[in-house]
């Protein structure tokens, strides 16, 4: 069982390295749909699952939480806050909690939810102004103390992935060089047709 799980994780990790944005979106989409189904069951176990609500939430998480935030965390933040270690991770976490979340993430979510529920973008922003601070306080209570560690681990993971990619590239180049060498050796070892003797050529011309 452990070997099977390890093999599955290896395949997942390889797919993530090859297509990070696609895999980030797929991962968050699967997580979102599962969590929303659990939430609906918790709210009212007797009601059927609202698949429309589940689909809307899943799409948002695929597009924003998975794909967009992959670019944000792994491409933009390292440029805004270069370096490694606890200080760099703390800067990323503070920026994410006090700039990204209140100014982009939650406004986007509220307007998206309102628009997909037959409301307007203005209605979504109005609701965000009314209850956004309470939502942010709850988020800050979780993410401000815990997110720096996550960003520090992400930095280590990026380093590992980069080194793995560099090693795989070096191995691929080495294999190409080996193949070229083997082809050249095979060509050199192949027998070549001996030229016709000069006497035979002269006899042929005389006969004509």
Average pLDDT over residues 161-178: 55
pTM, 2 dp: 0.70
Burial class (CB in 10 A: 0-12, 13-18, 19+), 109: buried
The predicted-structure confidence for 74-122, as pLDDT tens digits, reads as follows: 999 999 999 888 999 999 999 999 999 999 999 999 999 999 999 999 9
Report the percentage of the chain scoring pLDDT > 90.
Answer: 60
Longest dimension (CA), the chain: 110
Q: What share of the chain is helix, strand, coil (3-state, %, to 5)?
A: 85, 0, 15
Q: What is the residue-averaged pLDDT of the chain?
A: 82
């Amino acid at each position: 069982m452990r070997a099977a799980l390890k093999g599955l994780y290896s395949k997942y990790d390889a797919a993530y390295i090859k297509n990070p944005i696609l895999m980030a979106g797929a991962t968050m989409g699967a997580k979102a749909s599962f969590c929303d189904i659990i939430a609906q069951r918790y709210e009212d176990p007797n009601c059927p699952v609202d698949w429309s609500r589940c689909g809307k939430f899943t799409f948002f998480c695929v597009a924003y939480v998975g794909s967009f935030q992959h670019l944000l965390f792994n491409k933009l933040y390292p440029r805004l806050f270069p370096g490694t270690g606890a200080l760099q991770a703390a800067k990323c976490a503070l920026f994410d909690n006090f700039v990204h979340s209140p100014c982009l993430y939650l406004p986007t979510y509220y307007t998206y939810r309102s628009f997909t529920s037959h409301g307007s973008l203005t209605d979504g922003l109005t609701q965000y102004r009314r209850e956004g601070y309470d939502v942010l306080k709850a988020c800050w209570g979780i993410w401000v103390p815990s997110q720096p560690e996550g960003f520090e681990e992400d930095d280590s993971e990026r380093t590992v992935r980069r080194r793995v990619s560099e090693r795989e590239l070096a191995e691929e180049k080495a294999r190409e060089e080996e193949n070229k060498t083997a082809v050249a050796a095979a060509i050199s070892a192949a027998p070549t047709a001996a030229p016709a003797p000069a006497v035979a050529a002269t006899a042929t011309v005389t006969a004509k």
